[in-house]
Chains A and B, each alone.
Chain A
Amino acid sequence: MSKAPILQAVGVTKNYGRVVALDGSDLELFPGEVLAVVGDNGAGKSTLIKCLSGAEVPDEGQIILDGVTVSFKRPQDGRHAGIETVYQTLAVAPALDIASNLYLGREIRKKGPLGSVLRMLDSSGMRKGAKDHIAALGIGTIQNISQAVETLSGGQRQAVAVARAAAFGQKLIILDEPTAALGVRESRQVLKLIESLRDRGMPVILISHNMPQVFEVADRIQIQRLGKRAAVVTPKTHTMNDVVAIMTGAMTVDKKDQALTPVR
């Protein structure tokens, strides 16, 4: 159990003017685990995630991916490095079909002169690839890959976004409140997706407000408080009430009782 973290943040600090959003926060994500990041509003969880994905540039601190220090300037940089992010606002184009959305911004061209000279897209190849990716995640309810995304339910749309991340994420996937806009049944679908990502060995960072969901899927739970990491616990050693107490500062956890090493 002495695995090296796949992604590590050390002392990351970010200020917005005079507002300190992140005050030297740490994070470790180990291979094959689901790490939930929770915290009250303003605790810095969104900013931390943005620094990891490249949407924000930290003022101080280090981000180490697979043992190499990285400095992302734009979200594209994070994506190129193998970090895929699924945003809370569904980042899919409603009028385009599922296959087009999956490959949006990464379209595949036809082979030969049709692709290189006429720049034609390999639509059938992308449809087939999309079908495979959707099937690999066990999303059975999506039947027609040429369906426009707007004809799907919220859960299915989120599934398309997760499938896109899973298809292209080389190292890890960040899910920013993926169930915030979804109903009960649809949230269940997304939680299943997270589990199937973990089953395929893909590390996941999950940001969520929903304690029962966090306790259901997370291996470890990192609690942010006032721009710092307050504690890392597991669903087995602590209860939801404990986590809320740590979040609000009513409880502190000793370093030796924390889950700073992988539990899987």
Chain B
Amino acid sequence: MSQDTATYDAASEFHDRASLSQKIQATLHKYPWLSSAFVLLFASIIFSFFNENFLTPSNFSLILQQVAIVGAVAAGQTLIILTAGIDLSCGAIAVFASMTMAKLVQGSPGEGHPVGWAIWLAFPAGLLVGMLGGAINGFLVTKVKLPPFIVTLGTYNVFVALTLTLTKGTVPSIEMDPFLLTLGHYVNIGPFRITTGVIFMIAMYSVLAFILRYTGWGRHVYAVGDDIDAARLAGISVNRVLMSVYVVAGLIFALSAWIVIGRVTVASPNTGSDLNLDSITAVVIGGTSLFGGRGTIFGSLIGAIIVGVFRNGLTLAGVDLYYQLLAIGLLIIFAVSVDQWIRKARK
């Protein structure tokens, strides 16, 4: 035993002699959101040099409003990516849910249904549609054993088609139900003027962060993404966890649709087309590993804000839209490289 301890001490001494880069690597390994928080801070400082209006409460309020939708969808996307999956259909689910809510409230005068549903029926129906969409993805992933990438690539097209069938390709410009517009109201918090949608999004993140951190389900989500075989052998019902993740994510996408309606005041089949990939961008820049099991939910919020800050800051600095895209692209590659580097640390 004493000999064992001696060898171990030698090993730990060796460990302490780690170089600076190894120490950074180890720290980032423990707190994966640190690098994205650092990027956010750094970018904010740089942009404030180019335009004095950048670091103002009103501008930051604007950025928050702009990222509320992507941020909300990214919350659901994070859950799925934590299980080593991916959801390309999230935006399509959100739009389909929003169209369902709007259509049910509005009714279809031309088709013999002049009176719409009551909002307390239509709204839950929209949420249910989102969960059902997630359940279809979950079923195909767990029972048919298809890779999530392929499943959601397929269901993405299915949900877009369903949305177009529902609307016949038109944008229903109707007077929305006041409840559906709840998340578009403005509130003043100190010098900030933000929408209720932003508050709702942050509340959603807080709830998810609590669940992931403090409940058994949260721990199982990480375990399944980390090593699915180990999770199964440890007695976790892997398929049940995966299924629940897809359903909860579907619910989050439908709730995001509520923010969408509040922001654009109509339910339009065209609003969510960028959400599918933008949400993945936010999650990845937020430090969550595409290989699963690693990352934090608040990292994705930071990731969404980073994208918003880059778009806004580059616009204020007078940079062309093309170069904004270029910057976001480089940021994604940077984020994934950092993730790979961190993972390499402890193999």
Contact = CB atoms under 8 A, between A and B. Distances in A.
Interface of A: 75-76, 79, 87, 89-96, 100-101, 104-107, 109, 118-121, 123, 138, 140-141, 148, 150-151, 153, 185, 188-189, 192
| B: interface residue count bin | 20 to 34
Contact of B222 (A96, A109, A151, A153): A96
Nearest to B231: A93
Given A93-B293, A140-B1, A185-B7, A120 B214 contact: yes
Interface string B330-341: 000000000000
Contacts of A89: 229
Given A96-B222, A121-B214, A91 B293 contact: no
Contacts, number: 84
Interface string B211-233: 00011110110110011011101
B230 A90 contact: yes
A73 B8 CA distance: 42
Nearest to A141: B8
Nearest to A164: B234
27 contacts: A92-B230, A93-B223, A93-B226, A93-B231, A94-B293, A96-B219, A96-B223, A100-B219, A104-B234, A104-B235, A105-B220, A105-B234, A105-B236, A118-B210, A118-B214, A119-B216, A120-B215, A121-B214, A121-B219, A123-B214, A140-B4, A141-B8, A148-B30, A150-B347, A151-B346, A185-B4, A192-B1
A183 to B, nearest CB: 11
A109 B155 CA distance: 37
B235 A93 contact: no
Given A93-B227, A119-B216, 4 more contacts: A92-B227, A104-B219, A121-B216, A150-B346
B215 A121 contact: yes
B294 interface: yes
Nearest to A189: B4
A167 to B, nearest CB: 13
Nearest to B295: A95
B231 A104 contact: yes
Contacts of B215: 118-121
Nearest to A140: B5
Contacts of A150: 346-347
A184 B234 CA distance: 27
Nearest to A92: B230
Nearest to A155: B4
A206 to B, nearest CB: 18
A207 to B, nearest CB: 16
Contacts of B217: 119
Given A79-B235, A92-B230, A185-B7, A107 B216 contact: yes
B190 to A, nearest CB: 30
A141 B216 contact: no
B229 A91 contact: yes
A118 B210 CA distance: 10
A104 B346 contact: no
Contacts of A151: 346
Contacts of B5: 140-141
B214 A91 contact: no
A185 B10 CA distance: 14
Interface string B303-347: 000000000000000000000000000000000000000000011
Contacts of A93: 222-223, 226-227, 230-231, 234, 293
Nearest to A188: B4
Nearest to A110: B214
Nearest to A104: B234
B294 A91 contact: no
Contacts of B220: 105
Question: What are the 9 closest A-B residue pairs judged by CB atoms, nearest first?
Answer: A105-B235, A91-B233, A107-B216, A104-B234, A93-B226, A105-B234, A93-B223, A95-B226, A120-B214
A75 B346 contact: no
Given A119-B215, A141-B4, A151-B346, A95 B235 contact: no
Contacts of B30: 148
A107 B235 CA distance: 11
A181 B251 CA distance: 43
Nearest to B7: A185
A93 B225 CA distance: 9
Nearest to B235: A105
Given A96-B226, A151-B346, A91 B1 contact: no
